[in-house]
Chain A
Amino acid sequence: MRNPLIKRIPKELVSDWHKYLVIVIFMVVMIGVISGMYVGHDSMLAAIDSGREELKLEDGSFELSRKASPELLEAISTGEKADVRQYFIDEGIRKADEKVADAIEEELRSQVRMTIEDQVRMQMNAYGITDEDMIRSQIDSAIEENFESALEQARSSEEFIEASNEAYEEAHSEVIEAVDEKWDEISEQYDLADEDFTPVAVTIYDHFYRNVSEDNDNDGTEDATVRIFKSDDVIDKASFNEGRAPEKDTEIAIDRMHADNVGVSVGDSITVGGKKFEIVGLLSYVNYLTLHESNTDLMFDAFGFDVAMVTPEAFGEMKARVHYSYAFTYDVKPDGKIEQADWSERFLKALITQTLVKDNEIDDYLPEYLRQASNFAPSDIEGDSTGTGILCYILIAVIAFIFAITISNTIDKEASVIGTLRASGYSRGELVVHYMSMPFIVSVAGAVIGNVLGYTVFRNMAVFLYYNSYSLPSCHLVFSPTAMVKTTVIPLVLMFLINLIVIVKKLQLSPLRFLRHDLTKSKRSKARRIPAWSFMKRFRIRILLQNMPNYAVLIFGVIFIELMMCFAFGLPDSLNNYGKKAPDMVFADYQYMLMSSKDSDGNVIETSEDSAERFSSTGLLYPKDSGSFRAGMGSGGDESVTVYGIIKDSRYISIPADMEEGQVYVSSAFAEKFGISSGDRITLHEEYENKSYDFTVAGTVDYEGGIAAFMDNDSFNSVFGKKQGEFSGYFSMNEITDIDEQDIAMVITVDDITKVTNQLMHSMGGFMDIFKYALVVLAAALIYLLAKIIIDRNEHSISMVKILGFKNSEIGSLYIIPTAIVVTLFALVSFVAGYFLMIWIFHIFMLQMDGYFAFYMAPGSMILSVVYLLLGYIFVSVIDYVRIKKIPMDVALKNVE
C-alpha cells in the first residue's frame, strides 16, 4: 500500500500555491540565470576551443623587418639554434682576411718597388752615374720591365709565405678573441650557451598584414586603424557570423564586434586605405577574440581598432607597408603552461640565432599563450560565473531556510496530528520523509525548470552579454556537466540539507510532547509587564513579544535583502568610483616601460625630460591560500604582484631611503587584500621558474591601483641578479619624446586606466541594471514569504479576535503595524550590517580575482537601498491585509488541526 500521506502533497501544493509559486519562481530565476551563465560560458568556451582547431590557431608568431628567405624559414622551422659564434668568427675572418690580404699586397708591392729601386741605384752608383733624373728614368723603366716578375718571385719566396701566414694567423686569433668576448655577453643575454638545448620543430606560415586607415562613414576622416589580412591565409582563420569571405577586389569582411560598435553592417561601404570596399561579411578571427591592437594594450579597443580580410589581389594593391609576420605551429603540441613557456623560449633562441645568421631582424615575437587578443576573452569568461554562483547559493540557502521555517511552522500547527501518527506507529523517519518531500519537489521543479530556461532563454542572455564585448565565434549549445552539478546538485543538496536539519531537529520530540503541543525547549517565563499604554498599543507589543522567533527570521531576511541591495547598488557604484579615482591610480602621468635599459648599440637609454625618473619592475606571484574555499575558483592562480625598484628620494613613490635589502613596502591595495601589515614576511615566486624571494614588509604605500611591492632600486638589482645601474623604465610627468619607439615596450597613461573602467562599464552596464531590478523583485518575494510566516502562525489568533468583534482594519493594524515597525527599524540597522558584510564579501570575492578595488556605495544608493525594501514591504502589506480579511472565523472554532 502506498503511504496515504503522499496524497497530502498535491493538496498542500494547491492549497498554498502562491507561496510555492513564489519559491519556485525564485529558484527558477536563480538557477536559470546561473545555469544560463554556465551553459553559455561552456558553449562559448567550447566554440572557442573548437575554433582553435578548426580555424588553425597559431602557437605563436614573429615579425621580421624584411621578407624571410626560404632558407631562413627552413632553418627556423627546424628549431635548431644557429652557430652564432662560428658565424661571427667566419664573418670576422672573412673580413680580416680581406684586410690582411690588402695590407700584404700593398706591403709586398712597396717592398718589390723599393728593392728594384735599390738595385738600380746600386748599379748606377757602380757606373758612377749620379744624375738623379737619369737614375729616376732608369728606375721607372726597370720597374715597368721587372715589377710583375719580381712581384711573382717575391710571392713565391718562403720568407713571404711565412710572413703572410703569420699575419693571417695573428688576424684570425684577434678575430676569435673579439668574437669570444662579444659572444659571452650575447650568449649570457639570450642564454644561448645552454648545453641541454633541444630543438622545437615548427611549421611556419606566411601571415602578412598591413595596418591601414578605416573611414566608416566615408567622410574623409580616419575613424579606426584596420589590420588587413589576406583571404587565402591558411593560419589564424576567421569564422563568419554573417555573410561570407570577400571574393572580389572591392569586397571586405570586417570584425563583427567592431562593426557592431561603429554601426556598420553587411552591404555597407567603408573606405579602407583610401579605397572603397563593400562589406560582405562580419567575421571573428580566431586570434582576435578581443580587439587588442598591441599585446601591451591594457584593454582592447573595439572602436578604434579593427581586423579585416580582403582578397590577395586587393591586399597587393594596398600601399601601406607590409608587416612580414609569420605564424608558426609546433609540430608536437606542448602540454601545459610550463611546457608552453619552455618551448616558446627554446623556439625564440632558434629564431634569434637563425635570423641573425641569415641576415634579417626580428621586429616582434609573441607566443600564443601570452597573446591577449586570443586569451583575454576565454579567461574572462571562465572567471566570471564564480560571483553569480556564490550569490545563487546564498539565495538558495536563504530560500531553504525560509522553507524550513515554513515547514517548522506547519509542524507546530500539525503537532497533534504528528503526535497521533507517532503514537499510532508512524516512525520519525517516515514523517521526516513526508515533510521533506515538499521542499524536495519544489527544489526539483525549480532546478528542472531553471535548467530548461538556463539552456534556452538565459543561456542566450549570457551569450548576448559576451557577444556585446567580444568578437566570439558563433556557438552551439553544449551540455555542461559543470552547470548540471552547480545548478542542480548543489541547490538540491543545500535545500535538502538545510530542511533535513531543521525538520529532523523539529521531529526529535516525543509523540507525547506533540500531543501536548509542548514544542519549545524552554519553559515559558513569566509574562512580561508592559507599561500602562493604550490597549491596542499593549496588544501590539504582546503580538511582537509572542512572535519574537518569527520576527527573528524576518530580521534575518531583512538583513539578507539589504545585503542584496548593497550588492546591487554597490557594484556599479564601486566600478564608477574606481573609474573616478583612476587618475590617482598612476604613479606618474606617463610610465614608460623599456625593452631594456640599453639600446641596440649598447648605450644606456637616456632622456632629457626633467621629470623623468628611472625605475625597475618585475612580475612575481603571491601565493593564495590553497586551503580556503577560494582554491580552484575564478582565476584560481596566485596573485600577480608587480615589484618596483625605486630610486632614492623618488618624486613619484615615497619610500624611506634607508631601507635594507630584503625589505619592501607594499601597495595599500596589496595590504588590504591580503591583510598584510608592517613586520610581516611575504614570499613571492616566479611564475615559470622555481625561484622564490622572501621579503619583510616595512610599510605600505598609499596606492589603490594594483597589487605592488616597492623596494630600493639597488636592492632590486641585487635581489633579482641585475647589473648595477640597470632599470626597466621611466616615470615622467610629461611625454618623453627623445626615446626611440623601438626601445619602448609600453606606455601607461591615465587614459589607459580609464579605458579599462570605461570598457568594464560598457560590458557590464546593462547587466548591472537588470541585476539591480531582479534583486529588488527577489527582495519583495523574500519579504512576502517572511511576512506570510507571521500571518500564518497567527491565523488562529486572528480568527479569534475576529470572533471577539475586532474589525479587519483593527486586526490589520494589530498584526501589520508591529511587522512594519520591525521591518523599518531593521531595514536601517540591516543596511549598516549589510553594508559592512558586503565590504567583507567583496573582499573575499576580490581575493579570487587578480587586482583589487574596494567596495563603495554612493549616499543616494544607500538611501535607495532602504527605500526599495520599504516599498516592497508596503506592497506585501497590502497582500497581507487582504489575507487577514480572508481568514474565516471558524478557524478558531472548528477542531481542525
Chain B
Amino acid sequence: MDERFLEIRDLKKSFGSGEARQEVLRGIDFTVKKGEFCVLLGPSGSGKSTLLNIIGGIDTPDSGFVSINGDKLEDMDEKQLTIYRRKHLGYVFQMYNLIPNLNVKENIEVGAYLSDDPLDVEEVISTLGLQDHKYKYPNQLSGGQQQRVSIGRAVVKNPDILMCDEPTGALDYKTSKEILALIEDCNSKYGSTVIMVTHNEAIKYMADHVIKLRDGIVRHNDINDKKIPASELDW
C-alpha cells in the first residue's frame, strides 16, 4: 500500500475578511494510503466539507498543500485540475444531483464517459441493485435509490479516490446502512481510496483511518485496526 498516496500538509483556509474573517482550516496535516477507507469526522462547521472540497480540487487553500501520488494540486492550473478530477476522483454528495431527464443507466454513463478505463455500466448497475430501475428517471426513484445512482455515477469511472460528502445525510437508518455497504463494496472490490465526510460517529467503525476534526484542526488521527462491516453498524 502506498503510504503517502494522499498527503495533506499544513492546510489553512479562511472565509471572509476583517472582523468577519473565519478560519475554517487552521493547519491540517495527515496522509492517506492508497486503497484506504478514510472517514473525516466532525461536527457541523468543523471544516470537513471544506477540506474534502480542497482535496477534490474544487476549492483552494490559503496555504499548505494537497498532493496526490506526489502531484501537488497547487501546481495545477484549472485545466489540469479538471483533468485531475476527471482521471482520479469520483464524487458522491448528500444531495444526489442526478440529471432529471436522463434515466438511471444514462446517469451512470455520465460518469463512465469521463473515464479512460470505466467499469462495465451493467455490472455497476447490478452491484448497486438497480437492475429493475435502470430505465427509470430520478423522479421515479426513492432517495436511497437516487443515492445508489449517484454512487454508481462516481464508481463507474473506476476512480483512484471516491469522495463522499455526507452520503447518508438525507437518508433513513436502513437505507444509510445499505449505501455505506455499497461504498464499502466499491472500496474492496475496485480498490478505490475512499474519503468520506460525515458527522455520524458510528461510521468510523467501518473505516481504516479516522480523522476527527474540530474547529479547523485535526483532533484525532487514528488507524482503525478493528473495523467492522457496514452492515453491523448501529446508531
Do residues B153 and A512 form an inter-chain contact, with CB atoms below 8 A? no
Do residues B82 and A7 form an inter-chain contact, with CB atoms below 8 A? no
A426 to chain B, nearest CB (A): 7
For residue B97, which residues in chain A have a CB less than 8 angstroms away from its CB? 416-417, 419-420, 515, 897
Chain B residue nearest to A424 in the complex (CB): B91
Question: In the complex, which residues 416-431 of chain A have their Cβ closer than 8 Å to any Cβ of chain B?
Answer: 416-417, 419-428
For residue B113, which residues in chain A have a CB less than 8 angstroms away from its CB? 1-5
Do residues B157 and A895 form an inter-chain contact, with CB atoms below 8 A? no
Check A532 for interface membership: any CB of B closer than 8 A.
no
Chain A CB within 10 Å — which of B87, B98, B113, B139 has the most? B113
Do residues B93 and A895 form an inter-chain contact, with CB atoms below 8 A? no
Question: In the complex, which residues 682-703 of chain A have their Cβ closer than 8 Å to any Cβ of chain B?
Answer: none
Check B190 for interface membership: any CB of A closer than 8 A.
no
A515 to B166, CA, bound (A): 14
Do residues A425 and B101 form an inter-chain contact, with CB atoms below 8 A? no
Partner of A515, one of B84, B93, B110, B154: B93
Do residues A12 and B89 form an inter-chain contact, with CB atoms below 8 A? no
If A424-B153, A424-B154 touch, whether A4 touches B98 (CB-CB below 8 Å) is no
Question: In the complex, which residues 169-220 of chain B have their Cβ closer than 8 Å to any Cβ of chain A?
Answer: 170
A2 to B110, CA, bound (A): 10
Check A15 for interface membership: any CB of B closer than 8 A.
yes
Chain A CB within 10 Å — which of B98, B114, B139, B157 has the most? B114
For residue A15, which residues in chain B have a CB less than 8 angstroms away from its CB? 101
Do residues A4 and B58 form an inter-chain contact, with CB atoms below 8 A? no
Do residues A8 and B101 form an inter-chain contact, with CB atoms below 8 A? yes
Do residues B170 and A5 form an inter-chain contact, with CB atoms below 8 A? no
If A1-B113, A512-B59, A895-B146 touch, whether A424 touches B102 (CB-CB below 8 Å) is no
For residue A420, which residues in chain B have a CB less than 8 angstroms away from its CB? 91, 93, 97, 150
For residue B95, which residues in chain A have a CB less than 8 angstroms away from its CB? 416, 895, 897
A422 to B87, CA, bound (A): 13
Question: In the complex, which residues 486-527 of chain A have their Cβ closer than 8 Å to any Cβ of chain B?
Answer: 510-512, 515
Chain A CB within 10 Å — which of B87, B96, B100 has the most? B100
B200 to chain A, nearest CB (A): 19
Chain B residue nearest to A1 in the complex (CB): B113
Count residues of A near B (Cβ-Cβ below 8 Å).
32
If A8-B102, A15-B101, A416-B95 touch, whether A423 touches B110 (CB-CB below 8 Å) is no
Chain A residue nearest to B84 in the complex (CB): A425
Check A886 for interface membership: any CB of B closer than 8 A.
no
If A4-B109, A510-B58, A512-B58 touch, whether A897 touches B98 (CB-CB below 8 Å) is yes
Do residues B58 and A422 form an inter-chain contact, with CB atoms below 8 A? yes
For residue B91, which residues in chain A have a CB less than 8 angstroms away from its CB? 420, 423-424
Chain B residue nearest to A14 in the complex (CB): B101
Check B86 for interface membership: any CB of A closer than 8 A.
yes
Partner of A424, one of B89, B118, B170: B89
Chain B residue nearest to A12 in the complex (CB): B101
B143 to chain A, nearest CB (A): 7
A15 to B101, CA, bound (A): 9
Question: In the complex, which residues 70-115 of chain B have their Cβ closer than 8 Å to any Cβ of chain A?
Answer: 79, 82-87, 89-91, 93, 95-102, 106, 109-114
Partner of B170, one of A1, A422, A895: A895
Do residues B53 and A896 form an inter-chain contact, with CB atoms below 8 A? no
Do residues B98 and A417 form an inter-chain contact, with CB atoms below 8 A? yes
Check B138 for interface membership: any CB of A closer than 8 A.
yes
A510 to B101, CA, bound (A): 24
A12 to B99, CA, bound (A): 11
Do residues B157 and A4 form an inter-chain contact, with CB atoms below 8 A? no
For residue A7, which residues in chain B have a CB less than 8 angstroms away from its CB? 102, 106
A421 to chain B, nearest CB (A): 7
For residue B152, which residues in chain A have a CB less than 8 angstroms away from its CB? none
Do residues B100 and A896 form an inter-chain contact, with CB atoms below 8 A? yes
Do residues B143 and A895 form an inter-chain contact, with CB atoms below 8 A? yes
Check B167 for interface membership: any CB of A closer than 8 A.
no
Question: In the complex, which residues 15-34 of chain A have their Cβ closer than 8 Å to any Cβ of chain B?
Answer: 15
Check B56 for interface membership: any CB of A closer than 8 A.
yes
Check A11 for interface membership: any CB of B closer than 8 A.
yes
Partner of B58, one of A414, A416, A423: A423
A7 to B96, CA, bound (A): 20
A205 to chain B, nearest CB (A): 73
B11 to chain A, nearest CB (A): 16
Do residues B53 and A4 form an inter-chain contact, with CB atoms below 8 A? no
For residue B79, which residues in chain A have a CB less than 8 angstroms away from its CB? 427
For residue A510, which residues in chain B have a CB less than 8 angstroms away from its CB? 58-59
B27 to chain A, nearest CB (A): 21
A586 to B43, CA, bound (A): 90
Check A894 for interface membership: any CB of B closer than 8 A.
yes
Do residues B112 and A896 form an inter-chain contact, with CB atoms below 8 A? no
If A7-B102, A896-B138 touch, whether A424 touches B93 (CB-CB below 8 Å) is no
Do residues B112 and A1 form an inter-chain contact, with CB atoms below 8 A? yes
Chain A residue nearest to B100 in the complex (CB): A896
If A7-B106, A510-B58, A512-B59 touch, whether A424 touches B114 (CB-CB below 8 Å) is yes
A421 to B114, CA, bound (A): 10
Q: Quick one: CB contact mask for B145-168 with A, threshold 8 Å, 1 for yes?
A: 010001001100100000000000
B101 to chain A, nearest CB (A): 4
Chain B residue nearest to A428 in the complex (CB): B82
For residue A512, which residues in chain B have a CB less than 8 angstroms away from its CB? 53, 58-59
A817 to chain B, nearest CB (A): 30
A414 to B95, CA, bound (A): 13
Q: Quick one: CB contact mask for A869-892 with B, threshold 8 Å, 1 for yes?
A: 000000000000000000000100
A422 to B85, CA, bound (A): 8
A419 to B95, CA, bound (A): 11
Q: Quick one: CB contact mask for A230-251 with B, threshold 8 Å, 1 for yes?
A: 0000000000000000000000
For residue A1, which residues in chain B have a CB less than 8 angstroms away from its CB? 109, 112-113, 118
A424 to B57, CA, bound (A): 10
Do residues A424 and B143 form an inter-chain contact, with CB atoms below 8 A? no
Chain A CB within 10 Å — which of B87, B99, B112, B157 has the most? B99
B149 to chain A, nearest CB (A): 12
A57 to chain B, nearest CB (A): 62
A895 to B139, CA, bound (A): 8
A844 to chain B, nearest CB (A): 44
For residue A3, which residues in chain B have a CB less than 8 angstroms away from its CB? 113
B170 to chain A, nearest CB (A): 7
B2 to chain A, nearest CB (A): 22
A425 to B82, CA, bound (A): 5
Chain A residue nearest to B83 in the complex (CB): A425
Do residues B111 and A424 form an inter-chain contact, with CB atoms below 8 A? yes
For residue A426, which residues in chain B have a CB less than 8 angstroms away from its CB? 82, 86, 114
Partner of B99, one of A8, A425, A515, A895: A8
For residue A419, which residues in chain B have a CB less than 8 angstroms away from its CB? 97
Partner of A4, one of B89, B100, B106, B170: B106
For residue A896, which residues in chain B have a CB less than 8 angstroms away from its CB? 98, 100, 138-139
If A895-B95, A895-B96 touch, whether A425 touches B102 (CB-CB below 8 Å) is no
Do residues A425 and B86 form an inter-chain contact, with CB atoms below 8 A? yes
Chain B residue nearest to A425 in the complex (CB): B86
A426 to B111, CA, bound (A): 9
A residues with a Cβ closer than 8 A to B are 1-5, 7-8, 11-12, 15, 414, 416-417, 419-428, 510-512, 515, 890, 894-897
CB pairs A–B below 8 angstroms (25 shown) = A3-B113, A5-B99, A8-B102, A11-B102, A12-B101, A414-B99, A416-B93, A417-B99, A420-B150, A424-B89, A424-B90, A424-B153, A425-B83, A425-B84, A425-B86, A426-B82, A426-B114, A510-B59, A512-B53, A895-B95, A895-B143, A895-B170, A896-B98, A896-B138, A897-B100
List 3 tightest A-B contacts by C-beta distance, closest first: A425-B86, A4-B109, A420-B97
For the complex with contacts A420-B150, A424-B86, 13 further pairs of A-B residues with Cβ separation under 8 Å are: A4-B109, A4-B112, A8-B101, A12-B101, A414-B99, A420-B97, A423-B58, A423-B85, A510-B58, A512-B59, A894-B139, A895-B146, A897-B100
